Amino acid sequence: MNTTRDPDQGYAGIRFGKRGYDVATLESLLTELVTTDPRNALPEGDNVPIWEPPVVGVAAADDPLFERLKEPGVVGPIHRDPDFWVPGAKAVVSFFLPFSEEVKRSYERGNPLPSLEWVSGRLNGEVFVNVLRRAVASYLESLGGRAVIPNLDRRYTSDKWLPAWSERHVAHVAGVGTFGLHAGLLTRKGAAGRIGSVVTDLPIAPTPRPYTGVYEYCPWMTDGSCGVCIPRCPVGAIHATGKDHDICVTNGQNNIRPAFHEWGYHSCGHCQNNLPCSDGIPPRALELAAAP
């Protein structure tokens, strides 16, 4: 029987030394989990890490943008307010996890298929996103608040691809990033990643949105420059005005899933890798933002 009390052992949440629910503390909690929890690793090969530390933002539960998410053409009427998940909700914590350098480097520029590391990281990495979602909720509960994870809630649903809680849109409201031509979220740590969120009735101070435009970090949508993701898509799903999701989905069904059938994985990631926005905000977008 183990009798040691090595602080490096065990669930990071129980040795987390800080208290408080400001965004910096929440970022510290998530960073500790990302850097110490053994589940942040691919099950294959050299077990490289899947994720790097996150970008974290907080939205006020009564932010008027949540009402806009219910409009057709944004998400739609299926989208639920924070108050639906937690009556009396005060805040929404959102985090973007960037894929590790090891996973991103594995993605070959000239290959029409994603790498094994990518498809594994996409599936197994989402399990770790769940670990983080639950850790944030548990931590907020330990401080006396109520906390619900919409994407891990029995009431969560979707109508085809329209969800009752859109992690991307919520992240945008929380100041985590803007959208791009490829419909992904662009953050200061890039576009290659996944997103999680937790709704709570604790009055966490919202983080300011460092942007005003929905597409502010995407040069193509701002001044027509860049557009690298258009030819990057191996099946032409991205065009000058957006993304044709039917083409994208067909590629997943007909090419990606069969190629990784034995592994049990799927998910293309061409529009998140080997692009000017893969690792950070594109320089051109920063120039445009700095221009008078």
Partner 1 sequence: MSEDQVSLDRPSVVAALADYILQVNYRGYRPDLRKVLSVRRSDRTAWLRNAGTPIRWEVWYYIEGELFPEPGATRLAEGQTSRQLAEELAESIWDRLWIWNGFDFTPTSSGLNRGTYSDQVPPGTPDEDAIARSGSRP
Q: Is the dihedral of CA 15, 17, 22, 27 positive or negative?
A: negative
Our finding on whether 19 is near partner 1 (CB under 8 A) is no
Q: Looking only at Cα atoms, what is the longest distance across the chain?
A: 66
Our finding on whether 156 is near partner 1 (CB under 8 A) is yes
Amino acid at 130: N
Our finding on whether 70 is near partner 1 (CB under 8 A) is no
Our finding on whether 205 is near partner 1 (CB under 8 A) is no
One symbol per residue from 43 to 62: x for binding partner 1 (CB under 8 A), - otherwise; what is it?
xx--x---------------
Our finding on whether 158 is near partner 1 (CB under 8 A) is yes
Choose the binding region for partner 1 from 21-29, 70-78, 97-105, 277-285 (rule: CB under 8 A): 70-78
Q: Which of 54, 98, 145, 163 binds partner 1 (CB under 8 A)?
A: 163
Our finding on whether 11 is near partner 1 (CB under 8 A) is yes
Q: In sequence order, what are the residues at sequence separation of 6 or more whose Cβ sits closer than 8 angstroms to the Cβ of residue 239? A: 230
Our finding on whether 257 is near partner 1 (CB under 8 A) is yes
Q: Which of 94, 106, 166, 207 binds partner 1 (CB under 8 A)?
A: 166
Our finding on whether 39 is near partner 1 (CB under 8 A) is yes
Choose the binding region for partner 1 from 55-63, 85-93, 158-166, 278-286 (rule: CB under 8 A): 158-166
One symbol per residue from 119 to 148: x for binding partner 1 (CB under 8 A), - otherwise; what is it?
---xxx-xx--x---xx--x--xx------
DSSP assignment of the chain: ------TTSS-HHHH------SHHHHHHHHHHHHHH-TTSS-SSTT----B-PPEEEEEETT-THHHHTTSTTTS-TTPPPHHHHSTT--EEEEEEEEBPHHHHHTS-TT-SS--HHHHHHHHHHHHHHHHHHHHHHHHHHHTT--EE-GGGSTT--EETTEESS-HHHHHHHTTS-EE-TTSSEEBTTBSSEEEEEEEESS-PPPPPPS-SSTTTT-HHHHHS---THHHHSTT--EETTEE-HHHHHHHIIIIIHHHTTTTT-----GGGSSSTTSSSS-HHHHHHHH--
Q: Which of 202, 267, 286, 288 binds partner 1 (CB under 8 A)?
A: 267
Residues 120 and 60 sit within 8 Å (Cβ to Cβ): no
Our finding on whether 225 is near partner 1 (CB under 8 A) is no
| Cβ distance to partner 1 smaller for residue 111 or 287 | 111
Q: Which of 103, 198, 237, 281 binds partner 1 (CB under 8 A)?
A: 237
Q: Which of residues 74-93 bind partner 1 (CB under 8 A)?
A: 74-76
Q: Which of 18, 68, 105, 239 binds partner 1 (CB under 8 A)?
A: 68
Number of chain residues interacting with partner 1 (CB under 8 A): 72
Give me the least distance between CB of 246 and partner 1, in Å please: 9
Our finding on whether 266 is near partner 1 (CB under 8 A) is yes
Give me the least distance between CB of 278 and partner 1, in Å please: 14
Give me the least distance between CB of 201 and partner 1, in Å please: 18
Residues 128 and 79 sit within 8 Å (Cβ to Cβ): no
Our finding on whether 35 is near partner 1 (CB under 8 A) is no
Cα first-last separation, the chain = 66
